[in-house]
Amino acid sequence: MTKTISFILNGDEISCDIQDHWTLLHLLREELGLIGTKEGCGNGECGACTVIVDQLAINSCLFLAADVQGKQIQTIEGLAVHTGSLHPIQQSFVDNGGIQCGFCTPGMIMSAKALLDKNARADKEAIKHALAGNICRCTGYVQILDSVEAAGRQMAGNQGKGAAAAKDPGTITQQSMNKKAGEVIT
């Protein structure tokens, strides 16, 4: 059966017709053309299809499109748009060798983002736990864990600067904050 749903996708309001049986992965890739989200196993085991729904990382291959009605969805395509530079997590994967073939990368980054948005100071054990559902066949995981840890340090630093700017708005301009969001602490 066809129905119309509305939701927020990467900050934009979307309204579209879907079939009851469609998964969110199908809707994103096949209907909306957002092919950054990957299809690996198709049954909830590899994490390649991970996106964020209302702040939670989920496997979009197991999530019905109908269930995104009224929700906020973030995909890998939404990460770099607003600053014009890579998100600190993306930049950190580049800088720390967290990417080889790249197939697992969008899912890894979205799982990492769901964690670091809640706790940018997450330690390695918390990072391992958050990425436990994401499989990588190339890197051996060490560089991925290093990438997420370094991104967390960067994001925590930016949050601290944001708090300082809130107290003294003249000290750090929005433009300089945006520029710093693209830098990485090594």
Does 166 bind ligand FES (CB under 6 A)? Our answer is no
Does 132 bind ligand FES (CB under 6 A)? Our answer is no
Residues 28-57 that bind ligand FES (CB under 6 A): 39-42, 44-49
Find the binder of ligand FES among 26, 103, 120, 146 (CB under 6 A).
Answer: 103
Find the binder of ligand FES among 80, 86, 126, 138 (CB under 6 A).
Answer: 138
User: CB-wise, 118 or 137, nearer to ligand FES?
Assistant: 137
Question: In the β-sheet with 56-59, what is the strand arrangement from edge to edge?
Answer: 12-19, 2-9, 72-74, 50-53, 56-59
DSSP string of 155-179? HHHHHHHHHHHHH-TTTS-HHHHHH
Backbone angles phi, psi at 161, to 5 degrees: -65, -35
Provide the minimum distance between the beta carbon of 98 and ligand FES in the complex, in angstroms, as a whole number.
Answer: 8
User: CB-wise, 57 or 181, nearer to ligand FES?
Assistant: 57
Does 20 bind ligand FES (CB under 6 A)? Our answer is no
Contact 51, 75 (CB under 8 A): yes
DSSP string of 65-110? GGGGTT-EEE-GGGSSTTTSS--HHHHHHHHTT--SS-SSHHHHHH
User: CB-wise, 109 or 184, nearer to ligand FES?
Assistant: 109
Does 139 bind ligand FES (CB under 6 A)? Our answer is yes
Residue 38: other Cβ atoms inside 10 A:
21
Q: Which residues bind ligand FES (CB under 6 A)?
A: 39-42, 44-49, 59, 61, 99-104, 136-139
